[in-house]
A and B are shown apart, each in its own frame.
Chain A
Amino acid sequence: MMARWQLITIIIGLYLAITLGIGLRAGKRASKSVTGYVAGDRSFGLLVMYFIFGATMFSAFAFLGGPGWAYSRGAAAFYILSYGILGMAPWYWVGPRAARVGRRYGFVTQAQLLVGRFPSRPLTALMAVLTVLAFIPYITLQMRGAGIVIEAVTDGHIPLWLGAGMAYGIVIIYVLSSGVAAVGWTNTFQGIVMLVIAWTLGIYLPMRMYGGVGAMFTEIAAQRPELLTSPGLTATGESWSWGGYSTAILVSAIGVSMWPHLFMKAFAAKDEDTIRRTVVLFPTFQLFLIPVFIIGFAGVLFPESPGEPDFILPFLILRSDLPALVVGLFCAGALSASMSTGDALLHAGASVAVEDGIRPFRGLDDRQQRVLMRWLVLAMGAIAYFFALYEGVSLVVLLLSSYGIIAQFTPPLLSALYWKRATTPGVMSGLLAGSAVTLFFFFQGHLRPLDLHEGILGLLVHIPVLVIVSLLTQDPNPGQTEEFLRTAQGSARSTA
């Protein structure tokens, strides 16, 4: 008779093999060019875009951290449920605009769009540096998530270093060979796995433990009512502030679509309708956070507790005597969440580093760019793997603060696409001022008024600086600006 952990390992192995197969196959159709590697020849259809946005946005943080938050901080987790579509809805109009200029001028990254409107080499370098800085802790967390899950469900037979190494070895192989096409098609598979498993477990666990979702919440309401109303608790168990909760929703909504690995997919979409429909369908993916939170709440009244709240999901799964098959599938779901975000990050990080950080300063031909991107995928993977093995709490904190930085990309990008009077010095000084204020309040958290998120404080300085400096300076090339905005607007009158 096979040991339980061996059966689970086989399921995980199967899942990884399928993912690898899909990833390698995907690249066969993509052209051998930078546009092919970074933007998938601008050919992604609705199905792929839907799952890219869904599966990429909801990472290991949502799949493992979401239940962890619901379990330890209660309704504080509801902020994660609130912001997704708020951030995506404007994309219905912004996305097609970005895609039009991307097609016309050949952009494949966010900074290229920005610099296409505001020519400045320091600006592209700044964007590249901020992107890579925000990505490294993010990738590290995804790798750790994968390693932890595998270690937990195999009773430690496959330790963290090996589990994370296997999962991300596979990610790196398919990202290296197939570029964004692999990211797209594997995310489709991973997205389906995530959705099915979250909904199944979210209904199954409370049924098994309490007799139903309503019965579970009735019991929690009787014993721990403070967990069920916003803004919930802080990590240390005190009440969270409304200021902190509300601005966490705001800064996430403002920043979410500006994450380079998501924004860049506007350039990968086949046509404008695909982008629009992706936005329309997005809420249906987002609702999968409901079962994810239910899973976390299911652990609240459990007599034992895991060492760390983030492990509540594997902890519950392992202690509720579930069949090995269910445990294996859960693990596949968690790996999907981790890998679907990790692959997009590695790919986008390397693309941005080459396109925005190196190419503007040193001439590279198409082939050299692709070679360099692959080396950088490897390098970023290696750095993140190193941190994943020797990491402390600081990375989680870094990730949360990177949202504040990413939110600072919103004013320049919106100005580039909509505001005629914006100038290069205006955008540059706004971005610098906003990032500086965000970082200052990140390190001096106790100085924040009303517990407001540092990213919101950054924006409160960023936007006036952008507007005032723009109005005080002149656009050196108004003809070019007009042309750019006309392209963004497209031919259709209704997009005015």
Chain B
Amino acid sequence: MNVRWVRRGAALFFLLFVLAVTWPGMLPFNRIHPLILGLPFSMFWIALWVFCSFLVLLLVDRVEAGARKEDE
């Protein structure tokens, strides 16, 4: 996969992350029910973004590491 696209994708993801946990992006998800894994939805929503960051960064690292190898 192209490094440039992955970087843009990651930047977009983290931008959406910021919008999704601040005003006004958080408003639609700022609710107690349904409880997920026992957590209020609002808390689960933020935790979900944190967890997805991990997956996105794993992908970024794979692609970037591949590109660095090609360079050498």
Q: Cβ of B30: which chain A residues have Cβ within 8 Å of it?
A: 229-230
Do A250 and B50 have beta carbons less than 8 Å apart? no
Contact residues, A58-89 vs B (CB, 8 A): 75, 78, 81-82, 84-86, 89
Q: A89-B14, A218-B35, A493-B71 are in contact. Are A277 and B53 (CB under 8 A)?
A: no
Which residue in B3, B23, B57, B72 is a CB contact (below 8 Å) of A242?
Answer: B23
Q: Cβ of B33: which chain A residues have Cβ within 8 Å of it?
A: 221
Q: Cβ of B37: which chain A residues have Cβ within 8 Å of it?
A: 213-214
Tell me, yes or no, whether A279 is within 8 Å of chain B by CB.
yes
CB distance from A334 to the nearest CB of B (A): 23
Map CB proximity to A onto B26-60 as digits: 1 under 8 Å, 0 otherwise: 10001111010111101100110111011001101
Whole-angstrom CA separation of A230 from B43 in the bound complex:
9
Q: A85-B53, A279-B57, A283-B53 are in contact. Are A229 and B32 (CB under 8 A)?
A: yes
Q: A92-B60, A290-B39 are in contact. Are A250 and B31 (CB under 8 A)?
A: no
Residue of A nearest to B54 (CB): A283
Q: Cβ of B67: which chain A residues have Cβ within 8 Å of it?
A: 494
Map CB proximity to B onto A236-274 as digits: 1 under 8 Å, 0 otherwise: 000000110110011001000000000000000000010
Which residue in B14, B23, B53 is a CB contact (below 8 Å) of A245?
Answer: B23
CB distance from B46 to the nearest CB of A (A): 5
Residue of A nearest to B66 (CB): A494
Map CB proximity to B onto A324-347 as digits: 1 under 8 Å, 0 otherwise: 000000000000000000000000
CB distance from B8 to the nearest CB of A (A): 13
Whole-angstrom CA separation of A253 from B14 in the bound complex:
11
Do B54 and A284 have beta carbons less than 8 Å apart? yes
Whole-angstrom CA separation of A230 from B30 in the bound complex:
6
Q: How many residues from B make CB contacts under 8 Å with A? A: 39
Residue of A nearest to B58 (CB): A280
Whole-angstrom CA separation of A217 from B38 in the bound complex:
7
Residue of A nearest to B7 (CB): A93
Do B64 and A221 have beta carbons less than 8 Å apart? no
Q: Cβ of A214: which chain B residues have Cβ within 8 Å of it?
A: 35, 37-38
Residues of B contacting A: mostly: helix
Contact size class for A?
35 or more
Do B10 and A246 have beta carbons less than 8 Å apart? no
Do B46 and A82 have beta carbons less than 8 Å apart? yes
Q: Cβ of B17: which chain A residues have Cβ within 8 Å of it?
A: 86
Residue of B nearest to A286 (CB): B50
Which residue in A82, A218, A243, A493 is a CB contact (below 8 Å) of B21?
Answer: A82
Which residue in A86, A279, A284, A493 is a CB contact (below 8 Å) of B18?
Answer: A86
Do B61 and A277 have beta carbons less than 8 Å apart? yes
Q: Cβ of A492: which chain B residues have Cβ within 8 Å of it?
A: 68, 71-72
Residue of B nearest to A450 (CB): B23
Whole-angstrom CA separation of A85 from B58 in the bound complex:
13
Do B3 and A494 have beta carbons less than 8 Å apart? yes
Residue of B nearest to A495 (CB): B68
Do B42 and A287 have beta carbons less than 8 Å apart? no
- Counting chain A CB atoms within 10 Å of each CB, the highest count among B3, B30, B32, B65 belongs to B32
CB distance from B29 to the nearest CB of A (A): 9
- A-B pairs with beta carbons under 8 Å apart, 10 shown: A75-B42, A82-B21, A86-B53, A213-B38, A217-B35, A218-B35, A225-B32, A253-B18, A276-B61, A283-B50
Contacts from B to A (Cβ < 8 Å)? 3, 10, 14, 17-18, 21-24, 26, 30-33, 35, 37-40, 42-43, 46-47, 49-51, 53-54, 57-58, 60-61, 64-65, 67-68, 70-72
Contacts from A to B (Cβ < 8 Å)? 75, 78, 81-82, 84-86, 89, 92, 212-218, 221, 225, 228-231, 242-243, 245-246, 249-250, 253, 273, 276-277, 279-281, 283-284, 286-287, 290, 293, 491-494
Q: Would you list the 3 A-B pairs with minimal beta carbon distance, nearest first?
A: A213-B38, A214-B38, A246-B22
Knowing that A92-B60, A217-B39, A494-B71 touch, tell me 15 more A-B residue pairs with CB under 8 angstroms.
Answer: A78-B43, A86-B53, A89-B57, A92-B57, A212-B38, A214-B37, A217-B38, A229-B40, A230-B42, A231-B23, A245-B22, A253-B18, A280-B57, A283-B50, A293-B43
